[in-house]
Structure 1
């Protein structure tokens, strides 16, 4: 893959939980935390420029906030920014007696409180329990694209590979105080939204826009922001936004998902420019692949992205790595991705580590506090 002269830029958005520093229960203090952040110049409203990325912001519930990083070209830049914004979130939350927890779901029981925002209030009114119980945290990866047509060409060609990214990032085993039996229960909770999940092949930008027009025309989603596809063309930035991953306990896992996402976009764009047809798979089949990834993470079989047959997770991950190896090499990411994959193989996913911490502490509250500290490790960790 030598056609593209410039390395694509990549940035991430992370949704983080706010939990009590003493007992680990979810805290409804996002507004307080963001007021502190605004005084420190760390919110989008407080920035004097329009440069994208690098801020703390609100999310659907008062028990969570969102960070975003500026666009980066190297993984070192990305990891540095990601760690920096987690630390800024931690410092702002500390003022309210809270910690930030990088987990796809909150482990302890909670009655979430919708943030005081007109759009969020409308969502709560329209979607009832689906909205009020939707306390989940994801990792959204933005990868730069050159045109709207390229974006759709990419979306059509990465869709079969996205369940593998979920498996690698799985970090939400607990729900309302109980073990869900899933590595990523967040992926199950998200299916309650009517627009969540994989899409069919679009083929053209016009078909993508027509699909959005039809969705909004039903009156079910309140706006295009509720097109909660596994991956979508961003309306705000010239990027493809890959949305399947859980927020990762270990920042290095987030960097791994971002690197693989960028390589998938590169590989797909290369195939699109050459007129290669995208892999054919129905959205129903992709839902099964996503369910399998959310249920087992890397601990059992995954569905092969091209044959859709079950194979050991390690083989499927290697298939993804081989598929994007040329792009990883071109981007200078191959060595780091190999290291991250080996570390993940040895230590397990975030879900594996969450369960291990609970076994060690014997108490969910203590486990949550410990996991919150693990969410913001020093850069050398």
Structure 2
């Protein structure tokens, strides 16, 4: 195993964006209270909370973090404050990829950009009442960014399975671990990206989509990994918002290490495996359907393998990076959680087996400070 260089090489900065769903505190049905929640958070609690596409969603952002433990501290505090703001606004905020209960449409947020998206994409926009987690990791320049995206592409199915957290829709089990992924795939520019030959190639593809009307601008290049539009980062967007902070931190640690290794490899002239886009799409669909306890195509070996084994392969390959950058303890904590409780979809299915709403909402409350499931009480 190759010895890792210094922490300066393996320790790029990282940031995490989380989208959350606002629901009725008792029924769990989505409510359009974002204006009230954002106002309370900003004016009373000092948190710069963001609006999202619909009025039943809000978005949080960490600062630029220097390791996974800083990410964890900030997510714990941010989730606590968001939950406080939601209670003050008369609702509840939950960490879930798609609404488990009630309707799956929302009122479009009253902003120039969102109104334009709704006008151009119609019901597709109204039905995007879904919540993801986006991890940003710093890269040196744009040319490196597209090469990093190429190196990360084969690992997208595994990253999707780690935080799969949306098995239900309208109170029924969809059969998917991540129903959000299926809803998201309706956008014309979504899913695994193509293999980029250069930054110019990336720019030409974006220009083609804008000319075709399938994207209004570069911010609507909704690929699962992409160079960020306004930041010097690579952005991994494939994941559901995580059920717990430790799930989100595990994702951030994995992505940070993958990007650091990819920057190092690209600098040495190591070429990424040019996996076909359609092959990746099949594997990602399988991961969304199965979750971490299932199997999907391993795009590097060409055969179906358990996703948990593929995750082990990823971690083994990243071990020198994780040891050098200090993220190994945070990653191990997240892996223990997955092994003992499964992904978010597994946990939801256990607590909602009898159709009781409150245990499900309690599991998904964003301010649950620990990772343990609620105790099961006898009837």
How far does residue 138 in structure 1 lie from its aligned partner after superposition? 0.3
Alignment of 1:175-324 (within 5 A): 175-324=169-318
Name the counterpart of 2:377: none
1:40: Cα distance to partner? 2.9
| Counterpart contact for 1:25–1:365, Cα < 8 Å | no
SS in 2 for 1:264: helix
| Partner residue of 1:363 out of 351, 355, 366 | 355
CA deviation after TM superposition for structure 1 residue 338, in Å: 2.5
2:247, 2:152 → 1: CA distance?
A: 20
- Tell me, yes or no, if structure 1 residue 100 matches structure 2 residue 103: no
**Partner SS for 1:5:** helix
1:31 matches 2:35: yes
Q: CA deviation at 1:71?
A: 1.2
Instruction: Provide the rounded CA distance (Å) in 2 between the counterparts of 1:16 and 1:190.
Output: 16
Describe the superposition over 1:259-294 as per-residue Cα deviations: whole angstroms up to 9, x where unpaired. Answer: 000011011111111111111211100000100100
Structure 1 residues 277 and 35: alpha-carbon distance in aligned structure 2, compared to 1, 3 A threshold: same
Q: Is the 8 A contact 1:183 1:351 kept in 2?
A: yes
Match of 1:121 in 2: 115
How far the C-alpha of 1:4 sits from its partner, in A, is 6.4
- Number of residue pairs matched by the alignment: 367
Q: Is the 8 A contact 1:107 1:364 kept in 2?
A: no
State the SS of the aligned residue for 2:188. coil
Counterparts of 2:285 and 2:352 in 1: how far apart (Å)? 24
Q: Say if 2:21 is the partner of 1:17.
A: yes
* CA root-mean-square deviation: 1.6
Post-superposition offset of 1:216: 1.1
Q: Secondary structure at the match of 1:286?
A: helix
- 1:48 aligns with none
Q: Distance in 1 between matches of 2:44 and 2:138?
A: 29
**Structure 1 position 184, deviation (Å):** 0.5
Contiguous gaps of at least 5 residues in structure 2: 373-379
Q: Aligned partners of 2:75 and 2:7: how far apart in 1?
A: 26
Residue pairs, 1:128-207, within 5 angstroms: 128-207=122-201
Distance in 2 between the 1:23 and 1:130 partners?
25
Aligned-partner Cα distance in 2 for 1:261–1:271 = 15
**The residue matched to 1:192 in structure 2 has which SS?**
coil
State whether residues 164 and 240 of structure 2, in contact with CA within 8 Å, keep that contact through their aligned partners in structure 1: yes
Q: For residues 33-72 of structure 1, what are the structure 2 equivalents within 5 Å?
A: 33-40=37-44, 42=46, 55-72=48-65
Counterparts of 1:96 and 1:338, CA distance in 2: 37
Unaligned runs of 5+ in 1: 44-54
Q: 1:80: how far off?
A: 0.6
TM-score for both structures, normalised by structure 2 = 0.93
Who is 1:76 aligned against?
69
Cα deviations by residue, 1:117-153 (Å, 9 ceiling, x for unpaired): 1211121122122111111100000001111111111
Distance 2:359 2:282 in 1: 31
Matches of 1:182 and 1:269, distance apart in 2: 34
Distance of 2:170 and 2:218 partners within structure 1:
30
Instruction: Decide whether the 8 Å contact of 1:83 with 1:379 is kept in 2.
Output: no
Q: 1:272 to 1:67 in 2, by over 3 A?
A: same
1:220-267 CA distance string (max 9 Å, x none):
211211110111111211111100011011110000000000011011
In 1, Cα distance between equivalents of 2:67 and 2:120: 42
Distance 1:41 1:95 in 2: 11
